Amino acid sequence: MVKKLSDLAKTIRSKNAGTDKVTFDIIFREKENYELVKSSQVLTEETVARLFNIPIDMISDFVHFDPAYAIKFTIYRPTPSGGPGERDIFGCQQYPPLLDIEVPVE
């Protein structure tokens, strides 16, 4: 059986992290759901690269932040915030590929 990441996490969001980066937060209400996703290895740097169609070296940070039951990562923008051709100045519309990640549950 599987559940979608969006069903397990309290918050899935993206936001500006300066002019050249977007940061993502996946925050869980329950420690059990956080540990389930963390241990399942369905969300890794490789997953992020594939989901966002970027080379892995465009990921500047990827951390499991245990005190907040959160998984956080930051990617470099292909175009600076507000630059010509850039379509999301605030970086807040970048998270949807994360919503449907399937997490195996027992």
Asked if residue 61 lies in contact with residue 48, where contact means CB atoms within 8 angstroms, the answer is: no
The string of DSSP codes covering 9-36 is -SEEEEEE-STTEEEEEEE-SSHHHHHH
- Predicted TM-score (pTM) of the model is 0.92
Q: Does residue 71 surpass a pLDDT of 80?
A: yes
The residue behind tokens 């963390």 is 38
% of the chain surpassing 90 pLDDT: 83
Mean pLDDT across 50-76? 97
For 11-52, the pLDDT digits (tens) are 999 999 988 999 999 999 999 999 999 999 999 999 999 999
